[in-house]
Amino acid sequence: MDRGLAYGEACFETFRVIDGHIFDWPGHWRRLALGLSEFGLLLSPGQDEEVLFACLREAAKVGEDVLVRLTISGGESGWGLTNRGSEPVAHMQCVAYSLQSSPLFLRLATWPFALQPKRAKFVTDYADTLRALHGAADANVLFEQDGVLLATATANVLLYREGQWLTPQASTGVLPGRVRDFLIRHGVVRELVCPVVWLDDCEAMVVCNSGVFIRAVAWVESVERTEAMDVQHSALHILTDALGIAEGVRL
């Protein structure tokens, strides 16, 4: 039995392959390797190129714009928690990407578990997310805890307020997404503790991840606003212009 299924001993990355290019592949690989190292699973030198070529090859069979989920698990083994068998195993799932550009409507919900740093995309973390969703059919939920914004179930959030783009701090239990990290490194987004009340007066809001890149948010339920957020705010160009210089991006 695969140890990712048996014990959640697995990490994954999701990204698009667009015309043979992946946005920030080195960042995806570093985060994947960091997460696996916490299980004591070490990836060999040069394995990143081997896996990269495999992802590109499999994506090319599907199309020119393909969403890929790359999962690396502890591999096959016999019975027992610590009874490791083979080397880590990579699994690739590829589907043709379907454009998702319509503005989002999110529901505000409380994250019910203790917060801890999320240095990688651990499969078990997403099991907690499913528990927090309580079987909800859609994942358009914005989580908060103790009056502080965190992230949606599948993406980081950015708020435009008082002339700057802001995003919740990673230290509060937020996954440091690759798009989020890129925008911070290029000086167009600032990391800050973001109170829930900022939803009442922010001018614009987007979600970001390596699937949609940037997607505007029109409304968040349960907040005290008199009008919807501006989904065509001029400040969105700050984000799209920054991302537009990167390889493997389609906006």
What pLDDT, in 10s, does the model give residues 215-243?
A: 999 999 977 888 999 999 999 999 999 99
Please tell me the pTM assigned to this model. 0.94
Q: How confident is residue 137, by pLDDT bands cut at 50, 70 and 90?
A: confident
What is the per-residue pLDDT across 149-196, written as a single tens digit (0 to 9) for each?
999 999 999 999 999 999 999 987 899 999 999 999 999 999 999 999
| 8 A C-beta contact, residue 119 and residue 80 | no
Look at residues 220, 144, 151, 149 and name the one whose alpha carbon lies nearest to residue 180. 151
Interatomic CA distance for residues 53 and 161, integer angstroms: 41
Please name the residues in contact with 197: beta carbons below 8 A apart, sequence gap of 6 or more.
147
Tell me what pLDDT residue 250 has.
95
Cα 85 from chain centroid? 30
> For residue 90, what are the β-bridge partners?
72
Tell me what pLDDT residue 217 has.
98
Interatomic CA distance for residues 56 and 213, integer angstroms: 19
Share of the chain above pLDDT 90, in %: 86
What is the per-residue pLDDT across 27-53, written as a single tens digit (0 to 9) for each?
999 999 999 999 999 988 889 999 999
What's the rounded mean pLDDT across residues 76-88? 87
Domains of the chain plus CATH, in order, are 3-96 (3.30.470.10), 104-243 (3.20.10.10)
Q: How many helices (H) and strands (E) does the chain have?
A: 6, 12
| Letter string b/e over residues 101-132, b meaning 16 or more CB atoms within 10 A of that residue's CB | eeebebeebebeeeeeebebbbbebeeebeeb
Q: How confident is residue 101, by pLDDT bands cut at 50, 70 and 90?
A: confident
- Flag whether pLDDT at 1 surpasses 90: no
Interatomic CA distance for residues 105 and 107, integer angstroms: 7
Share of the chain above pLDDT 70, in %: 100
> For residue 248, what are the β-bridge partners?
none
